[in-house]
């Protein structure tokens, strides 16, 4: 990984952390006062967070491919697909919030990201795999790996909750989001500090 991309990835990780935090604020807090404003802002932060997260996934692959190239490649593939899928979902919500279509919009799951399949479900698999690879390397702090496991678990709980419960105000959904309010941004913020600079590799 070049030094220039390492710097870019660290900035992207800071941006993904901020976007994740602001998404939770929009979804939990602002939406309670104005559902349309909350949905529009949540879409904006989901869009920006997805794009920025894709850059972080590439940096993680570059840092961990020496540990296990195939697992790192698989985590990169599903991580980038999940990040871009969540960006498309956010872009759809943002477009509808800015220029709401005439007539009613049917409350059907997003065809690209049904019930957060990519945003939460597949993202959790990618984060969990990268965290597991971190445990086999000597570059990343061990506590960052455990934080990655926790983040992966929380987003999977959130996906299953949205798939089964549907009600966004259900305590299970709210608790998972509140936990993600802290854990997921913390994961990206720590990555912004811990990502190796150009030339470093996470050798076993």
**In this structure, are residues 33 and 73 in contact, taking their beta carbons and an 8 Å threshold?**
no
- What pLDDT sits at residue 106? 55
- What pLDDT sits at residue 202? 47
What is the residue-averaged pLDDT of the chain? 85
Low-confidence stretches of the chain (pLDDT < 70) are 31-32, 101-110, 166-170, 172-173, 176-180, 198-204
- What pLDDT sits at residue 108? 63
**In this structure, are residues 14 and 49 in contact, taking their beta carbons and an 8 Å threshold?**
no
- What pLDDT sits at residue 194? 92
Global pTM value = 0.85
**In this structure, are residues 122 and 80 in contact, taking their beta carbons and an 8 Å threshold?**
no
**CA–CA distance, 80 with 39 (Å, rounded to integer):** 24
Q: Which of 135, 125, 143, 144 is nearest to 188 (CA)?
A: 144
- What pLDDT sits at residue 10? 95
Write the pLDDT tens digit of every residue in 160-195.
877 777 666 667 667 766 666 789 899 999 999 999
């Amino acid at each position: 990984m070049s030094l220039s991309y390492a710097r870019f990835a660290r900035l992207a990780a800071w941006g993904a952390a901020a976007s994740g935090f602001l998404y939770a604020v929009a979804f939990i807090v602002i939406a309670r006062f104005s559902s349309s404003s909350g949905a529009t802002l949540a879409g904006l932060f989901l869009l920006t967070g997805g794009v920025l997260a894709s850059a972080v996934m590439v940096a993680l692959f570059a840092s961990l491919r020496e540990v296990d190239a195939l697992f790192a490649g698989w985590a990169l593939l599903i991580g980038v697909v999940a990040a871009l899928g969540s960006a498309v979902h956010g872009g759809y919500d943002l477009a509808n919030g800015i220029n709401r279509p005439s007539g009613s919009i049917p409350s059907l799951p997003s065809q690209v990201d049904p019930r957060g399949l990519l945003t939460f479900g597949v993202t959790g698999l990618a984060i969990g795999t990268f965290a597991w690879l971190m445990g086999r390397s000597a570059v990343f702090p061990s506590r960052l790996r455990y934080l990655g496991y926790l983040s992966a678990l929380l987003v999977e709980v959130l996906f299953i909750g949205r798939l089964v419960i549907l009600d966004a105000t259900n305590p299970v959904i709210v608790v998972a989001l509140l936990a993600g309010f802290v854990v997921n941004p913390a994961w990206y913020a720590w990555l912004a500090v811990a990502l190796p600079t150009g030339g470093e590799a996470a050798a076993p």
